[in-house]
């Protein structure tokens, strides 16, 4: 399509839309030439309205007029400025020709009313009343031809002693608008309790004059604004009428409503339940939702209650306005209730229709109408009589706050009220060159009177401070029809038709016809415009399958102007339509709409001179259809039975399909569709999927043609038609690799559809759920470079290092994570616990600044590969702010630091230690993980640990026959609480399967602590812990096989003056004590055996003999070399 053609098409569519809107919103109320009456500014002129006819029924001299209330206007009564007034306006084109009717000023000093007072004789308000602000004209009602008028002032105040009571009053005027009677039903009733009695009745807030000559006054104020109605007769012969004032029950004990219900805010009446009159009164605040109470007419007080209708929404003011309408013309009145404060997302205000059935009103509304948001739709209601002369009453609804105000007109019918308005009248479209703008249009409505004598009722609308009269145009009755023998069984496979046999397209011909009934203007012919539109007049259709006339730019709309006689003769126009090429839908009938519009004539200078007629819009159009030839039953109705099954290429476990992400790059779903009944036209298969799953293609071979309809739907054509007994298999391929992180399942809604009618069991749709399983096996490895480190030198004070080189040997911890798959891990956490210092006394040492470091972190951990970041408490990163020298000064080679003993036998020490503990230990911690993590965070009190971790002795595990040598090894780790560990947490993002992430940690071995605490051990093993995990909120199953590791840092002492191992002292002490004990035992045994007792002779001179012997042998002493003296 060329751009120019597109523009033309767009303009044509806009024109058609405008025509449709005109047909929809315009009927016979002439809004182009309204009659407007203006009142004084700020007087609320137009707040209440009535149409009235002055004159007798049989009299030919009748005067039709408008009655308008202006509650804040200046009254003719002397000494009043804003007491309100009633105006009478003639039916004319003048804007300011309304006259005030005398209402107040007739009350004499004694309290009696004088009906014959002239305007010059009016008296000011008495001292016992207040007329200022009384709102005279708040309610204005007319009983009709040769009947009376009601006007009220609900804020009228009487003074009794020092109290003021707002009881209100109403005047009833005669047919010629003269004073007839005053009604103050609350006057003389108890007021001792002020508003809890009758102190503030506010009578006349609403009122109604019914056709049985009764007057109903709404009184929302009695008994704490519980409310009531008062009823009395005002028509007929004075002596014969019932002058009693009957009232509804409003006592605390038995009132139908509670306090603050405002019963009587609106009143109406009708014979809802048979021949007897009933009264309806709105209580918009009752029960919070609002209620309508319906009373039966009775000659007793209180008036009995017949039924109560409840509102549906809180604070909607259900019952704020009421009216009675015979919507369907069955002579049984229906009730209409407004709730102008009803609200929803798109609505503001509601009107409820209660249609009478068998002399009963339903408790639930027959129909609910709603207006625009914040429009207060329903603030005014009116029975506007029979606008279109179909013997059914019509309804007008005001929405004064929709823009400058809108009035909706709804036509009644034998089937009930039409939900769509026949006319929407906006204030902004009321004529041209108005002296003042119209606002608040629709705040009051009155009708049911033919004001211009053209036999059609007219509409009166209040728009303070103005009143608008909309006169009704005469209606021309028209009959529309069509004739054709080619609109049935159109064969889409056959080209041409009788009107165009040469075309390559399928075509057909029909006739659009109309006839006009004779009408009042008696013209011989009328100019009409035919418009035929195919399909797009329906709201859900944007394109049509047909176009009209080959020379009509292939448009689906055709218009023709014709002259139609007014004698009832049928006038027809022949039209040819063409089926567009490649049309798939040959099952659904083609819908047509024929509209007829009367050619508009120029407006007359005055609407009172002549109003142009208008066609009856309910009869000016007709809809019909053309059907295709189909392979269906005798009734030409295709009834298809589509059966569908679907299954993914996955193994089901417990009836559930699971896809392990990463195992399969594609997901295939095989769908089988069978037709077991009539041919299915435009048979299609639809697969609705989530956005995260993308359609790839179909798996060949297949008889279906599939394409991506949009980003969440795949559409497959199954044939046009899909014949009876056909089975089609199609496998659709999807890409599941872009699923959202939180997505745990894939949903597929699969269904088959056709333009034929689906019958039989509803087996044409299936839901397939595939559970998404994410599973990742993470492996963590770790090592320290260099593998062996040495410490030596003198024990220094903690604050002695000035540079990193003074601390000790450099260490580089490396931790590597590898994702074995099969699924990606959106987030991986690596937790590293590094022994940083000796455990005991840590808090105290920190406070004193004396920390016994084991390893000293130089800088923050760095990510070597992968995307992520590491976090560690900043106070642990180079807390002493030590500087670094050039790398050439570092002793990085382990063999340079090895002691002489290790240089002589390099494998001996390694061999010994490897037999007791491996360099890197990898264990499965399924039972230790949680306890370890909590144990590192929640340690026992450090007072329970010794200051120094004692070395353990390990024996060399050589072959038998070789003497074993004991090794002293100190193990410092996090799990046994032998060292204070810090936590380093690294997080890696989007780790795909078969990818690696690596982090390094640079540290220094702290010489002074090891030299001071462990100078004479063979090995200090400093063990770090690392574990890897995936947060649970990512719904990834983690295979816990190699997800934790122990990384060991080996530190050997390098002390050249280390002496040979001394013999244990306890053994020496034990040996000495054992020897002494054995000696003591042996001595005791010998003593007991008499070993220490010698046998001596009993010669008393033995000593003397000895002396003598000594004297005889002096050589003994000399030989011994001793001097015996």
- Do residues 828 and 752 share a domain? no
Q: What is the mean pLDDT of residues 687-692?
A: 91
Kindly state whether residues 676 and 812 are assigned to the same domain: no
Same domain, 609 and 583: yes
- pLDDT digit string, tens, across residues 205-217: 999 999 999 999 9
Residue-level pLDDT at 685? 93
Confidence of residue 400 (pLDDT cuts 50, 70, 90): very high
Nearest to 632 by CA among 680, 682, 683, 584: 680
| Phi, psi angles (nearest 5°) of residue 889 | -85, -10
Highest mean pLDDT among 8-17, 358-367, 1033-1042: 358-367
Q: Is residue 407 part of a domain?
A: yes
Of the two residues 972 and 955, the one the predictor is more confident about is: 972
Residues 496 and 446 in one domain: no
- The domain of 759 spans 639-763
The pLDDT assigned to 181 comes to 94
| pLDDT tens by residue, 963-1004 | 556 788 888 888 777 888 999 999 998 888 899 999 999 999
The pLDDT assigned to 1121 comes to 44
Q: Where a domain ends, among 426, 443, 470?
A: 470
Q: Is 1111 a residue whose pLDDT tops 90?
A: no
CA 37, CA 467: separation in Å to the nearest integer? 5
Tell me what pLDDT residue 201 has: 96
CB 991: neighbour CB atoms within 10 A?
A: 25
Same domain, 847 and 738: no
pLDDT of residue 81: 94
pLDDT tens for each residue of 1008-1062: 888 888 888 889 899 999 999 888 878 788 877 778 889 999 988 875 445 445 5
Query: Higher pLDDT residue, 512 or 894?
Result: 512
| Residue range 717-729, pLDDT digits in tens | 998 888 888 999 9
- Which residues, in sequence order, are CB contacts of 1021 under 8 Å at separation 6+? 917, 969, 970, 971, 972, 973, 1048, 1049, 1050, 1051
pLDDT at 270 over 90: yes
Percentage, residues of the chain above pLDDT 70: 84
The answer on 530 and 556 residing in a single domain is yes
Q: Is the pLDDT of residue 324 over 80?
A: yes
| pLDDT surpasses 60 at 653 | yes
> Exposed e or buried b for every residue in 481-501, given b needs 16+ CB within 10 A?
ebebebbeebebeeeebeebe
Instruction: Please tell me which residue, 31 or 933, carries the higher pLDDT value.
Output: 31
Between these two residues, 958 and 951, which has the higher pLDDT value? 951
Got the DSSP string for 1043-1061?
-EEEEEEEEEE--TTPPPP
Task: Please state which of the ranges 29-38, 259-268, 440-449, 901-910 shows the lowest mean pLDDT.
Answer: 901-910
Tell me, yes or no, whether 466 and 483 share the same domain: no
Span 235-247, pLDDT tens digits: 888 888 899 999 9
| Residue 357 belongs to a domain | yes
- Where residue 15 falls among pLDDT bands split at 50, 70, 90? very low
Determine, yes or no, domain membership for 16.
Answer: no
Structure-block tokens of residue 68: 């308008």
**1117, pLDDT greater than 60:** no
Residue 606's CATH number: 2.60.40.1460
Residues 616 and 699 in one domain: no
pLDDT above 60: residue 304: yes
What band does 849 get if pLDDT is binned at 50, 70 and 90? Answer: low
Residue 26 maps to a domain: no
pLDDT of residue 955: 56
Which among 874, 870, 872 has a CA at the least distance from the CA of 987?
870
**CB-side neighbour CA atoms (13 Å) of 140:** 31
Shared-domain flag, residues 559 and 597: yes
Domain-ending residue, one of 595, 626, 657: 626
Residue 772 lies in a domain: no
Q: Which two tokens stand for residue 324?
A: 């009675």
Looking at the chain, how many residues does it have?
Answer: 1125
Query: What is the reported pLDDT for 840?
Result: 59
* pLDDT tens by residue, 471-502: 999 888 899 999 998 998 899 889 999 899 99
pLDDT confidence tier of residue 57, bands split at 50, 70 and 90: confident
Task: Report the C-alpha gap between 64 and 856 in whole angstroms.
Answer: 108
Statement: residue 922 has pLDDT above 80: no
Contact indicator for 623, 486 with CB cutoff of 8 Å: no
The pLDDT, as a whole number, for residue 388 is 86
How confident is the model over 693-714, as pLDDT tens digits?
999 999 888 888 899 999 899 9
Of 729, 763, 797, the last residue of a domain is 763
pLDDT tier at 942, thresholds 50, 70, 90 = very low
Mean pLDDT of the region 317-342: 97
Q: Are residues 651 and 759 in the same domain?
A: yes
Closest CA to 977 of 946, 1004, 1000: 946
Q: What is the pLDDT of residues 811-828, one digit of tens each?
A: 999 999 998 888 888 889
Phi, psi of 202 (to 5 degrees): 55, 45
Distance CA 835, CA 975 (A): 10
**H runs (alpha helix) in 140-230:** 222-225
DSSP assignment string, 541-554? ----SEEE-TTTTT
Q: What is the pLDDT of residue 20?
A: 39
CATH number at residue 862: 2.60.40.1530
pLDDT: which is higher, 646 or 841 = 646
Confidence band, pLDDT 50/70/90 cuts, at residue 920: very low
Q: Is 8 inside a domain boundary? A: no
Number of structural domains (the chain) is 5
Token couple for 656: 């559930």
Burial label for 969, CB within 10 Å (0-12, 13-18, 19+), is: buried
- Asked whether residue 1121 is domain-assigned, the answer is yes
Instruction: Please give the pLDDT value at position 413.
Output: 94
Say which residues have a Cβ less than 8 Å from residue 602's Cβ, sequence separation at least 6.
Answer: none
- What pLDDT sits at residue 837? 86
List of residues 6+ apart from 434 with CB closer than 8 A: 36
Asked if 128 and 159 touch (Cβ cutoff 8 Å), the reply is yes
How far is residue 160 from each of residues 127, 187, 204, 377, 860, measured CA to CA in Å? 10, 11, 21, 41, 93
Tell me the average pLDDT of the chain.
83
SS3 category, 1102 = helix
Question: CA 1106 from chain center: how many Å?
Answer: 136
Q: Are 992 and 1036 in contact (CB under 8 A)?
A: no
- Count, in order, helices (H) and strands (E) of the chain: 11, 68
Residue 796: pLDDT band with limits 50, 70, 90: low
Q: What is the DSSP string of 901-941?
A: HHHHSHHHHHHHHHTTS-SEE----TTTHHHHHHHHHSPPP
Q: Is the pLDDT of residue 417 over 60?
A: yes
Residue 768, in any domain of the structure: no
pLDDT band at 392 (very low <50, low <70, confident <90, very high): very high
Phi, psi angle pair for 940, to nearest 5°:
-70, 160
Asked if 490 and 463 sit in the same domain, the reply is no
CA dihedral sign of residues 608, 614, 619, 623: negative
Based on the domain organization, do 177 and 284 belong to the same domain?
Answer: yes
% the chain with pLDDT above 90: 50
Residues 941-950: contacts with CB within 8 Å, 24+ apart?
942/839, 942/840, 942/841, 942/842, 942/843, 945/839, 945/840, 945/977, 945/978, 946/840, 947/840, 947/841, 948/838, 948/840, 948/1013, 949/838, 949/978
Quick one: pLDDT at residue 964?
A: 54
Least confident of 4-13, 224-233, 865-874: 4-13
Average pLDDT on 1108-1122 reads 45
pLDDT of residue 959: 46
């Amino acid at each position: 399509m060329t751009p120019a053609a597109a523009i033309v098409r767009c303009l044509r569519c806009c024109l058609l839309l405008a025509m449709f809107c005109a047909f929809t919103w315009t009927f016979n109320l002439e809004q182009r030439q309204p009659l407007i009456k203006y009142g004084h500014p700020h007087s609320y002129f137009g707040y209440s309205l009535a149409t009235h006819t002055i004159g007798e029924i049989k009299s030919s001299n009748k005067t039709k007029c408008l009655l308008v209330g202006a509650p804040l206007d200046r009254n003719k009564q002397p000494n009043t400025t804003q007491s309100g007034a009633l105006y009478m306006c003639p039916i004319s084109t003048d804007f300011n020709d309304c006259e005030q009717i005398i209402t107040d000023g007739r009350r004499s000093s004694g309290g009696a009313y004088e009906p014959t007072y002239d305007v010059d004789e009016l008296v000011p308000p008495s001292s016992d009343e207040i007329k200022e602000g009384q709102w005279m004209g708040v309610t204005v009602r007319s009983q009709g031809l040769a009947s009376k008028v009601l006007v009220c002032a609900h804020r009228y105040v009487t003074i009794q002693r020092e109290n003021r009571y707002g009881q209100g009053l109403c005047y009833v005027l005669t047919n010629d608008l003269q004073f007839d009677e005053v009604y103050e039903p609350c006057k003389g009733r108890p007021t001792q309790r002020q508003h809890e009695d009758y102190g503030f009745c506010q009578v006349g807030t609403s009122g109604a004059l019914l056709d049985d000559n009764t007057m109903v006054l709404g009184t929302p104020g009695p008994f704490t604004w519980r409310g009531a109605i008062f009823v009395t007769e005002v028509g007929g012969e004075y002596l014969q009428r019932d002058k009693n004032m009957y009232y509804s029950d409003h006592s605390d004990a038995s009132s139908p409503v509670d306090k603050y219900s405002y019963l009587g805010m609106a009143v109406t009446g009708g014979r809802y339940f048979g021949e007897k009159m009933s009264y309806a009164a709105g209580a918009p605040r009752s029960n919070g939702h609002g209620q309508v109470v319906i009373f039966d007419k009775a000659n007793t007080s209180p008036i009995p209650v017949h039924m109560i209708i409840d509102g549906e929404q809180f604070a909607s003011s259900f019952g704020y306005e009421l009216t009675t309408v015979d919507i369907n013309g069955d002579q049984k009145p229906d009730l209409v209730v407004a709730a102008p404060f009803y609200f929803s997302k798109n609505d503001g205000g509601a009107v409820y229709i209660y249609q009478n059935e068998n002399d009963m009103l339903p408790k639930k509304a027959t129909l609910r109408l709603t207006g625009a948001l914040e429009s207060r739709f329903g603030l005014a209601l009116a029975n506007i009589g029979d606008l279109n002369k179909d013997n059914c009453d019509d309804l007008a609804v005001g929405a004064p706050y929709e823009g400058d105000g809108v009035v909706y007109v709804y036509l009644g019918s034998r089937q009930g009220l039409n939900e769509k308005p026949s006319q929407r009248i906006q204030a902004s479209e009321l004529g041209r060159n108005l002296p003042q703008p119209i606002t608040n249009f629709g705040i009051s409505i009155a009708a049911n009177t033919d004001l211009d004598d053209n036999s059609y009722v007219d509409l009166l609308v209040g728009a303070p401070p103005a009143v608008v009269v909309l006169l009704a145009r005469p209606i021309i009755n028209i009959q529309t029809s069509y004739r054709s023998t080619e609109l049935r069984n159109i064969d889409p496979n056959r080209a041409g038709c009788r009107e165009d046999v040469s075309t390559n397209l399928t075509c057909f011909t029909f006739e659009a016809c109309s006839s006009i009934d004779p009408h009042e203007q008696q013209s011989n012919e009328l100019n009409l415009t035919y418009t035929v539109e195919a399909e797009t007049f329906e709201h859900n259709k944007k394109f049509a399958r047909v176009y009209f006339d080959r020379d009509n730019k292939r448009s689906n709309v055709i218009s023709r102007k014709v002259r139609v006689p007014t004698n009832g003769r049928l006038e027809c126009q022949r039209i040819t339509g063409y089926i567009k090429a490649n049309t798939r839908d040959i099952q659904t009938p083609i819908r047509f709409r024929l509209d007829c519009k009367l050619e508009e004539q120029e407006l007359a200078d005055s609407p009172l001179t002549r109003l142009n007629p208008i066609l009856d819009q309910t009869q000016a159009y007709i809809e019909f259809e053309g059907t295709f030839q189909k392979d269906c039953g005798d009734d030409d109705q295709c009834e298809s039975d589509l059966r569908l099954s679907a299954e993914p290429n996955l193994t089901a476990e417990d009836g559930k399909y699971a896809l392990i992400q990463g195992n399969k790059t594609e997901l295939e779903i095989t769908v089988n569709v069978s037709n077991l009944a009539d041919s299915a036209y435009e048979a299609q298969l639809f697969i609705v999927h989530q956005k995260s799953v993308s359609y790839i293609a179909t798996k060949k071979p297949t008889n279906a043609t599939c394409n991506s309809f949009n980003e969440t739907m795949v559409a497959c054509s199954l044939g046009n038609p899909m014949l009876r007994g056909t089975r089609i298999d199609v496998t659709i391929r999807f890409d599941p690799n872009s699923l959202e992180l939180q997505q745990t399942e894939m949903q597929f809604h699969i269904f088959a559809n056709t333009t034929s009618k689906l019958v039989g069991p509803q087996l044409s749709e299936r839901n397939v759920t595939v559970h998404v399983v994410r599973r990742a096996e993470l492996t963590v490895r770790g090592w320290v470079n260099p593998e062996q480190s040495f410490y030596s030198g003198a024990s220094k004070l903690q604050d002695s290092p000035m540079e990193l080189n003074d601390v000790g040997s450099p260490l580089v911890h490396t931790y590597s994570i590898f994702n074995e798959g099969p699924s990606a891990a959106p987030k991986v956490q690596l937790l590293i616990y590094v022994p940083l210092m000796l455990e005991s006394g840590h808090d105290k040492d920190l406070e004193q600044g004396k920390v016994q470091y084991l390893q000293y972190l130089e800088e923050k951990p760095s990510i070597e590969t992968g995307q992520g970041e590491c976090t560690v408490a900043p106070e642990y990163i180079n807390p002493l702010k030590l500087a670094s020298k050039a790398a050439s000064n570092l002793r990085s080679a382990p063999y340079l630091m090895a002691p002489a003993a290790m240089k002589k036998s390099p494998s001996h020490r390694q061999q010994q230690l490897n037999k007791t503990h491996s360099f890197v230990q990898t264990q499965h911690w399924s039972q230790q993980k949680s306890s370890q993590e909590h144990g590192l965070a929640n340690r026992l009190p450090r007072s329970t640990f010794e200051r120094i971790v004692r070395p353990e002795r390990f024996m060399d595990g050589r072959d038998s026959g070789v003497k074993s040598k004991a090794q002293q090894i100190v193990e410092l780790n996090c799990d046994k609480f032998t060292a204070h560990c810090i936590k380093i947490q690294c997080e890696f993002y989007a780790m795909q399967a078969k990818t690696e992430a690596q982090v390094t940690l640079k540290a220094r071995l702290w010489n002074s602590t090891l030299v001071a605490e462990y100078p004479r051990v063979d090995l200090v093993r400093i063990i770090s812990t690392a574990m890897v995990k995936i947060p649970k909120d990512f719904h990834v199953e983690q295979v816990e096989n190699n997800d934790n590791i122990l990384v060991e840092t080996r530190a050997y002492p390098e002390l050249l003056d280390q002496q040979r191992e001394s013999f244990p002292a306890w053994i020496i002490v034990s040996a000495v004590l054992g020897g002494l004990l054995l000696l003591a035992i042996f001595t005791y045994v010998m003593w007991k055996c008499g070993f220490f007792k010698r046998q001596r002779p009993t010669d008393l001179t033995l000593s003397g003999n000895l002396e003598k012997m000594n004297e005889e042998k002096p050589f003994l002493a000399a030989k011994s070399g001793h001097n015996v003296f």
